[in-house]
Amino acid sequence: MPAVITAGKIAAPEGRTSNAPKQSPLKQISGFSVELGPSLKDVLNFTNQLSVMVKAGISLPEAMESIAVQVENKKFRRIIFDIKNRVEAGESLSQALGRYPNVFGHLYINMIAAAEMSGSLSMMLRKLVDYIDQELQTRSQVVGAMVYPAIIAFMAVTCTTFLLIFVLPRFTHIFVGKEHMLPKPTIIIMAVSSFLKHYWPGVLAGLAVLIGGFVFGIGTKVGRFWWDKAKLIIPLMRTLCNSLYIARSFHAMGVLVNAGVPILDTLVITAEVSGNMHYKTMWHAVYKSVKQGKKIAQSFGPKPLLPSSAIQMIRSGEESGTLGQVLEDVSEFYSRQLKATIKLVTSMIEPIMIIVMGLVVGFIAMAIVLPIFKMSTMMGH
C-alpha cells in the first residue's frame, strides 16, 4: 500500500509500525492547522515569476524549484514541486499542469499546450499574467461595488433592531391601559418590538437557517440555475452581471484564439469560465453548431444573451480573418462598460439605501411620537 503524504512528510503505510515517537494529544491539537488551496493571486505570482525566469533562459525544473521555496502556501508549494518532478520525469509542462485543473484551469493549461507547440512559452506566460491580472481586477471591482451597500444595509438593520429592542420598550409603559387610543403604526411597532425582545434566539436561528439554506441551495445544480437566472433578471444586478459575463467570455476567447488554441476547444473553455450556467449553456450550443460547420456568429439562437452589436462584431472578425483582435477589442469595450456600470450601480444603491433607512427610522419615530402627541392633545381638552 502506498505511503500517505501529509504536510511534506511521508507517513507510515497501514499495517506497518512506525519508529517515530508518538505525540501527545495536546501536541497533536496544538499542531493542527487548516490548509487553504492556492488562490488566483498565488497562481498570478507563480506565472509572473516563471515568465521572467523562462525568458532569462533558466530551465523549467530549476525555475519551479526556485519559485516553490518562496511560496508561503504549503499546499501550492507541494503542487509546484510535484509539477517540477513530473517535468523532470519527461512530462510536458501542460501535461503536468493538467494534473491540477482546479488550480490552473482549462484556459491556462490549453494556452501552455499551444505555447509548447509554437515554441513561445515565455510570451504565452506573459499573456497569462495579463489575463489573470485583469481577472483579479474585475473581481476586485465587483466585490468593491458590493461592500459599501452591504455595510449600509448592515448598519440599517442594526440601527432598526436597536431601536425596536432597546429604545421603544422604554416608552411602552406610557401606553399601558391606553391601547384603545393607539394608532395602527404604534400597535404594529410595539408588536414587532415585543416579538423581537422575547423571541430573539428564534429569530437569529431562523436567519441562520435561511442563510445556510440559501448557500446550500446555490451549491446544487437546480439552485445554481435559478440563482444565475435571477442575476440576469433583477434590475441593477442584471446590468452589472451581463457586462461581467460578456467581458469575461470575450476576453477568454480573444486570448485563446490569439494563442492558437483550436476554435472548438476555445468555445468549450469559454463556456467553463463564463461564470453563469445560462451563458455556459449558450456557449455549449454555439460549440455544437460550429462543430457541424457553422460560423460562430450564425450559431447563436433567436434570443441570445449577447447583444446584437457584439454578434455583429464577431461576424466581422470571422469575415475579415481578425477574430482574435476583434474579440479582444469587444472584451476591452465591455470591461470599460463594466467599470461604468459598477460606478452607476454603486451611486444608485447608496441613496436608495439611505432613503429606505430614513423611512424605517422615521416610521418608528412617528409610531412613538404620534400617540404621545394625541394623548397630550386629549389631556389639554
What cell does 287 get? 460549440
* Residue 143: band (very low, low, confident or very high) from pLDDT cuts 50, 70, 90: confident
- Report percent pLDDT > 70 for the chain: 88
Mean pLDDT of the region 345-362:
81
Q: Rounded to whole angstroms, how far apart are CA atoms 231 and 289?
A: 27
As a residue count, the chain comes to 381
State whether 280 and 141 are in the same domain.
yes
Least confident piece of the model among 103-107, 115-119, 226-230:
115-119
pLDDT of residue 7: 35
Mean pLDDT of the region 347-371:
82
Mean pLDDT of the region 35-44:
83
pLDDT of residue 292: 92
Parallel, antiparallel or unpaired: strands 4-6 and 9-11: antiparallel
Q: 224 in a domain, yes or no?
A: yes
Domain boundary among 106, 130, 154: 130
- Report percent pLDDT > 90 for the chain: 30
E strands in the chain: 4-6, 9-11
pLDDT of residue 35: 59
Q: 78 in a domain, yes or no?
A: yes
Mean pLDDT of the region 205-232:
92
State whether 162 and 88 are in the same domain.
no
Q: How far apart are the first and last CA of the chain?
A: 95
> Does residue 3 register a pLDDT over 80?
no
pLDDT of residue 346: 77
Summarize pLDDT for 305-335 with one digit per residue, the tens: 888 888 999 999 998 888 888 988 888 888 8
> Does residue 273 register a pLDDT over 80?
yes
pLDDT of residue 12: 34
Q: 3 in a domain, yes or no?
A: no
State whether 358 and 236 are in the same domain.
yes
* DSSP conformation class of 142: H
Q: Which residues contact 79 (CB under 8 A, 6 or more apart)?
A: 38, 100, 103
Q: At residue 5, what are phi and psi to the nearest 5 degrees?
A: -90, 125
Summarize pLDDT for 105-115 with one digit per residue, the tens: 888 998 898 88
Q: 114 in a domain, yes or no?
A: yes
Three-class DSSP category at 182? coil
Q: Which residues contact 25 (CB under 8 A, 6 or more apart)?
A: none
pLDDT of residue 288: 93
State whether 255 and 116 are in the same domain.
no
Q: 217 in a domain, yes or no?
A: yes
CATH number, domain at 69?
A: 1.20.81.30
Q: 9 in a domain, yes or no?
A: no
Is residue 196 a contact partner of residue 203, using CB atoms and an 8 Å limit? Answer: yes
Domain count, the chain: 2
> Does residue 304 register a pLDDT over 70?
yes
Mean pLDDT of the region 120-147:
86
State whether 176 and 212 are in the same domain.
yes
Mean pLDDT of the region 64-83:
92
Is residue 48 a contact partner of residue 27, using CB atoms and an 8 Å limit? Answer: no
Is residue 255 a contact partner of residue 107, using CB atoms and an 8 Å limit? Answer: yes
| Vertex 372: Cα angle to 367 and 375 (nearest 5) | 130
What cell does 24 get? 501527545
Q: 18 in a domain, yes or no?
A: no
Q: 89 lies in which domain range?
A: 40-130
Share the mean pLDDT of the chain.
82
State whether 143 and 95 are in the same domain.
no
Q: 14 in a domain, yes or no?
A: no
State whether 337 and 277 are in the same domain.
yes
